[in-house]
Chain A
Amino acid sequence: MITTYLFYFLSFLAIMFGLMVVLSKNPIHSVLYLVLCFFTIAGHYVLLNAQFLAVVHVIVYSGAIMVLFLFVIMLLNLNKETEPHKSLWLKASAAVASGSLLVVMVASLKGASTIQSTNTFNPSIGLIENLGTTLFKDFLLPFEVSSVLLLAAMVGAVMLGKKSIK
């Protein structure tokens, strides 16, 4: 019972903070609301008994990626004066495009209640032992391939960061 209330509470917060990210005028405020939004999503993971995922979510997104975002935005010193002004038809087309995306997503979610999951949900899958076993036994190849992908991204970032390539 209490988990249901917590679910609705966290969902409300997540949506509210998500809206605040978009609606805030100040980019620093947007980043901070996004961090709060990530915390509520970590709370959802805890409700699903996926503690490892929750804490890794906090470490990676809130602790590393958003700190870098904040870092860059603070150094750029964005404010109202430097804000680029878009033309009206660009704004209108953006609103139409994202509005139709919203319609598509709502329409696809409308039929989601009839979808039956084929696997039964294992509530202990989020615990670190089970997650490790699953990743390194059942999904070993995708796991290793994704690590190669990250390595490629890292090497690419270093290459782009170099001033001159000899």
Chain B
Amino acid sequence: MDRRKSLKALMVGTVSAGALLEACKTSDKKGAEAKAAADLSAGNLDRMKEEVAHYKQITANKFFTEHEMATITILGDIIIPRDEISGSASDAKVPDFIEFIVKEKEEHQVPMRGGLRWLDLQCLNRYEKTFRECSQQQQIAMVDEIAYPEKAKPELKAGVAFFSLMRNLTASGFYTSEIGVKDIGYMGNKPNQWNGVPDDVLKQYNLAYTEKELKECISFTA
């Protein structure tokens, strides 16, 4: 049973919610694979024709050079590395997202391009190599100087601003990917029945529904 059919079932109301939730679980995986291959500009999401034209226009050209993309990939994986819970930024294709979003949001173009250049020049002065050519140790030493806004030296503030932007864009790309959504533990976006805060959570926070709420609010039996 695919999601569309399960929604139809909801509409006519002939299927119990339990069966519906089961149906969605089994279909989700296949759906995700099919979606990954879909043309995002048209079809998978409802789009106006003006939006399709806009998408085609901004994706017609590359913004970052290969060198810049390689640097973004290294930085992204320093910010979000693989750990025991989930994969890395590059596992979640964050560099591709950054390439797209910087084309889309032009206000990021100069800070990103200029920031990458700033980083390379710092590394050239220190190590006679660009950031990507530096050893891992050198890269981390450099990052340590710009990753902590309140500890960074005043003369490195431009690098701090760049790294904060890079951190924010990396988080946006990672936690909106399938890997990242699973990591952060967002459990919604599926048909279900809201029955209130789970009992153990209510207890944890020393809260309870009032009799009035229990009487008036919609509730569902599992």
Q: Do A and B come from one complex?
A: no
B residues within 8 Å of A by Cβ? Answer: none
